[in-house]
Amino acid sequence: MTVCRPLCPYAEFNMKLLYNAYIRTQDPSHPTETAILIDRERIVAVGEANVLLSQYPNAEKQNMNGRVILPGLTDAHLHLKHYALNLQKVDCETETKEACLRRVAERVQKAKPGEWVLGHGWNQNVWENWPSASELDAIAPNNPVYLTAKSLHASWANTAALKLANITSQTRNPQNGQIQRDGKGSATGILLESAMDLVGNIIPEPGIHEIADAMEKAQSILWKMGLTGIHDFDRRDSFMALQQLHAQGRLKLRVLKNLPVELLDQAYELGLSAGFGDDWLRIGYIKAFMDGALGPHTAAMFQPYIGEENNRGILNMDSEELFEHGRKAAQVGLALAVHAIGDRANHEVLDAYEQLRHYEQENHLPALRHRIEHVQVLHPDDVMRLGRLNIIASMQPIHATSDMFMADAFWGERSRLAYAWKTQLENGASLALGSDAPVESPNPFWGLYAAVTRRRADGSPSADGWYPEQKLSMAEAWQGFTLGPAYAANMETRLGRLAPDYLADLIVLDASQDPFTCPVEDLLVMQSSATMVGGEWVYTSATGDGGLS
Ligand SMILES: [Zn+2]
């Protein structure tokens, strides 16, 4: 067998030539083309169909029948293990508490006595009050029930679960957490922030095999949504399951794996650097949490929440402490990705990053691509600092439209600089967009819709959208889901555009579904009709005119 690449006549038989397509390359020198030539996992050429067809007569040809080809999308903030396992949980994202209780009751019927019943997705702001343990006890007297909130910053447990966790009226609040109590001091069943762990930690963990299987199922859902890569923010089990999938050749999604700051010492001792791994699975960032979230009012703010004059949220650490983490991480070439929602939290992170930039310079270390996760609301004085310090704004467009009424209610005027991605772009920050799934659906087309309309699917709050000056153009938003995450992963030379030597990660959309020209509402129902990762068709829709012939 002759092994040669890329232009010898034998190799040509292994090449794929997709022609008669409308290709949006994101390569500024050739923004659109009609054919793409792929050799194994890489793109060899992008050009005019006539030219490539005559140059490569022996390549395997696929007529795309005028369909649109675009670079595959990457979700820059996703919890793959949680998302995958959540697909198996009771969906608690209901309009009313009663509807949620009905779903839980159905699952309880099928569960064995004593078996845990898990659910996710409720939001007390939608239900207009906090639920309680007794409501679950009525439908689940013999099964422990544990339902996490959509924000992942609160949970709702029944009495059986509280008992197993030994939570009584005597139990003290853990640091950075709260056991919600009634007038008599008894636990209501609601656990906030770190108090969630009191129950969360006693739930039997699924094994690595189970997680890997769940991830594999999730992966096919992600391909259909148009995703070819993710930046994963889950932990050890997630990493082990991903390695297992990879070793077995079942991982067909580009994964940037981030590590929790609690493991920084171990990473440092090991000398583990960003980029270790390969183009499928590689080490990314050190992830730290600066504060909580808007939903449970735990995001750290300079000024109190509206209607709660003593509540400014919870700050987990100050800028000094974060800087110390950053300094250590920099020794082994790991950048920071720090969760910051409130304006105070973002301010502290920016102070730490400013110090870190000086430190990098003084010590002749590379300027790492640090990022802030969420950047949900900024103090006016901090708006320009991400751009100035060259910090990546890792934002989730769909959070804006999900949270806008809460933001107006609890942050008021401050919301002018909330979810303000256009302001960030204009001030020189680069954007890496994502979903924070399972907090939101990972469907990137819903994210794109939110980014360019600032509206919900139902059209609220208005035709113009919420703070419409923050709308992105489709080109900016698409870039935020492709080149932006590629840059954050130090992979912008091989991911995020369709050009020679780039990895062949792409999606195919129907000819009438070009997101750049179709009615914006079409984004809400858009799906990939075929997805290629590393030169392999990993997903093709069963429908259509004979598929990809
Ligand atoms: Zn997250």
Write down the pLDDT at residue 543.
53
Q: What is the whole-number distance in angstroms between the Cα of residue 396 and the centre of ligand 1?
A: 10
* Residue whose entry in the numeric block shows the structure tokens 């991911």: 495
Q: What is the whole-number distance in angstroms between the Cα of residue 16 and the centre of ligand 1?
A: 37
Write down the pLDDT at residue 122.
96
Q: What is the whole-number distance in angstroms between the Cα of residue 436 and the centre of ligand 1?
A: 5
pLDDT above 90 (res 51): yes
Q: How far apart, in Å, are the Cα atoms of 30 and each of 47, 56, 240, 396, 544?
A: 8, 20, 40, 29, 29
290-344: pLDDT as tens digits:
999 999 899 999 999 999 999 999 999 999 999 999 999 999 999 999 999 999 9
Write down the pLDDT at residue 1.
37
Q: What are phi and psi of 336, to 5 degrees?
A: -100, 145
Q: What is the whole-number distance in angstroms between the Cα of residue 77 and the centre of ligand 1?
A: 6
Q: Which residue in 11, 17, 15, 13 sits closest to 63, CA to CA?
A: 17
1-12: pLDDT as tens digits:
344 445 555 566
pLDDT above 90 (res 21): yes
pLDDT above 60 (res 549): no
How much of the chain exceeds pLDDT 70, in percent?
96
pLDDT above 90 (res 547): no
AA letter at 213: D
Least confident of 85-89, 132-136, 236-240, 498-502: 85-89
Write down the pLDDT at residue 548.
58
6 exposure class (CB count in 10 Å sphere: 0-12, 13-18, 19+):
middle
Write down the pLDDT at residue 438.
87
Q: What is the whole-number distance in angstroms between the Cα of residue 233 and the centre of ligand 1?
A: 6
459-499: pLDDT as tens digits:
999 999 999 999 999 999 999 999 999 999 999 999 999 99
Mean pLDDT of 381-394: 98
Beta partners for residue 254, in sequence order: 229
Write down the pLDDT at residue 128.
85
On average, the pLDDT of the chain sits at 95
Q: Evaluate whether 457 touches 237 at the Cβ level (below 8 Å).
A: no
140-175: pLDDT as tens digits:
999 999 999 988 889 999 999 999 999 999 999 999
- DSSP, collapsed to helix, strand or coil, labels residue 411 as helix
Q: What is the whole-number distance in angstroms between the Cα of residue 438 and the centre of ligand 1?
A: 8
Q: What is the whole-number distance in angstroms between the Cα of residue 419 and the centre of ligand 1?
A: 15
- DSSP, collapsed to helix, strand or coil, labels residue 393 as strand
Mean pLDDT of 183-209: 95
Mean pLDDT of 507-515: 96
Write down the pLDDT at residue 545.
44
Q: What is the whole-number distance in angstroms between the Cα of residue 435 and the centre of ligand 1?
A: 8
Instruction: Write out the residues surrounding ion ligand 1, Cβ under 5 A.
Output: 233, 436
Write down the pLDDT at residue 365.
96
Q: How far apart, in Å, are the Cα atoms of 369 and each of 218, 286, 318, 436?
A: 29, 11, 21, 20
Q: What is the whole-number distance in angstroms between the Cα of residue 483 and the centre of ligand 1?
A: 20
Q: Evaluate whether 498 touches 23 at the Cβ level (below 8 Å).
A: yes
